[in-house]
Amino acid sequence: MDRFHAMRVFTRIVERRSFTHAAEDLGLPRSSVTDAVKALEARLGVPLLQRTTRHVSPTLDGEAYYQRCLRLIADLEDAEGALTGAKPQGMLHVNVHGTMASHFIVPHLPGFLAEYPGVELFISEGDRYVDLVRDGVDCAIRVGRLPDSDLITRRLTTLEETTCVSPSYLARHGVPQDLDALDGHRMVGFHSSATGSVLPLEFISNGVARTVILPASITVSGAETYAAAARMGLGLIQAPRYRLEEDFRRGTLSPVLTDTPPSPSPVSVLYPRAKQLSPRLRTFLNWLFAKIRNETAAE
């Protein structure tokens, strides 16, 4: 195994915190991954990784070597690409909210993969907190306000939010004409993995944000279940409008309180802080910014 290939193996072990997961990602036998690290440590004369039965982490020397490897690998890929016209290649792990993936990303992927056939995408779905480095995630796409972290955070766009209910709910409870008329109404609770609590409904009235918590017979933690509960007449919900357009067309949900809409939700991409991005991640991010901005501008 050549030196640069061994560096790639080592960086993946650090990112995945596992010899086994790194071997699976790279399509190599676990023994080859182990041998590559042993050879690196023998040549450098220092231990690079601390190993326990459940966890692998870099030593101080290993962390410094990891950062240098990232820059060297990116420089090599850039240099080869510039001279040979080679395009980025390799595995790219993107974590994204499921509805964002199906609406904004997947429809455009045939074009991206046709242009960059050497890139293999793994799209995992969810809105829970993920440790990008530990879980081997190259970037994550999240909706909403994000807590401070050591990750690079770049705003992609904002999404228009709306409040809506089902016709069956309106038949029982009536149409709320303003915020003061919400007494006696109910909401579907949404439990946020980011805050660990149920999100209140939010309304912008005369330029001021006002939050309201209504009684909830059901609380959920998934976007699809959230909308499904609203369709069954279980209460008011607030969600990005793009996810509800089909319901509005079919009449299964109706917008309400349109004069006091929720504030728009920011959409951000997060990725680990590094002095130099890999060519495949940089290429994907550039493509992602262009596609999502075009898509949301069209809406």
Q: Closest Cα to residue 158, out of 144, 148, 141?
A: 144
Residues 270 and 250 in one domain: no
Q: State the CB neighbour count (10 A cutoff) for residue 20.
A: 12
| Mean predicted lDDT score pLDDT of the chain | 86
Say if residue 19 is exposed, middle or buried (CB neighbours under 10 Å; 0-12, 13-18, 19+): buried
pTM attached to this predicted model: 0.70
Residues 168 and 255 in one domain: yes
Residues 257 and 184 in one domain: yes
With cut-offs at 50, 70 and 90, classify the pLDDT of residue 280.
confident
Tens of pLDDT, residue by residue over 255-278, are 999 999 999 988 889 888 765 677
* Residue 112 in tokens: 């991206």
Residues 150 and 293 in one domain: yes
Dump strand ranges (E) for the chain: 49-51, 56-58, 90-96, 119-125, 139-143, 152-159, 161-165, 189-190, 201-205, 208-212, 219-220, 237-240, 254-255, 265-271
Q: State the CB neighbour count (10 A cutoff) for residue 257.
A: 23
Residues 149 and 284 in one domain: yes
pLDDT of residue 174: 94
Residue 235 pLDDT more than 90? yes
Residues 242 and 167 in one domain: yes
| 10-19, 40-49, 89-98, 231-240: least confidently modelled range | 89-98
- Residues 295 and 85: their CA atoms lie apart, in Å, by 29
Tens of pLDDT, residue by residue over 106-139, are 888 999 999 998 888 889 887 666 777 667 788 9
- DSSP H helices in 109-207: 109-115, 167-173
| Residue ending a domain, choose from 25, 52, 85 | 85
Strand partners, 92: 121
CATH number at residue 224: 3.40.190.10
Residues 141-169, buried b or exposed e (16+ Cβ, 10 A)?
Answer: bbbeeeeeeebeeeebbebebbbbbbeeb
With cut-offs at 50, 70 and 90, classify the pLDDT of residue 83.
low
CATH number at residue 61: 1.10.10.10
Highest mean pLDDT among 55-69, 123-137, 210-224: 210-224
Residues 93 and 80 in one domain: no
Residues 147 and 114 in one domain: yes
Residues 214 and 284 in one domain: no
- Residues 57 and 69: their CA atoms lie apart, in Å, by 16
SS3 assignment for 223-275 = HHHHHHHHHCCCCEEEEEHHHCHHHHHHCCCEECCCCCCCCCEEEEEEECCCC
Residues 66 and 110 in one domain: no
Structural domain range at position 130? 87-157+265-299
Q: Could you tell me the maximum CA-CA distance found in the chain, to the nearest angstrom?
A: 75
Percent of the chain with pLDDT over 90: 40
Number of domains in the chain: 3
Q: Which residue has the higher pLDDT, 293 or 2?
A: 2
Residue 295 pLDDT more than 70? no
Cα 58 off chain centre by = 26
CB–CB of 256/175 below 8 Å?
yes
pLDDT of residue 128: 67
Rg (CA), the chain: 24
Instruction: Please report, as a single letter, which amino acid is at residue 189.
Output: G
CB–CB of 163/240 below 8 Å?
no
Can you tell me the mean pLDDT for 18-29?
A: 87
Say if residue 211 is exposed, middle or buried (CB neighbours under 10 Å; 0-12, 13-18, 19+): exposed
Can you tell me the mean pLDDT for 213-237?
A: 95
Residues 32 and 180 in one domain: no
- What backbone torsions phi and psi does residue 287 show, to the nearest 5 degrees? -65, -45
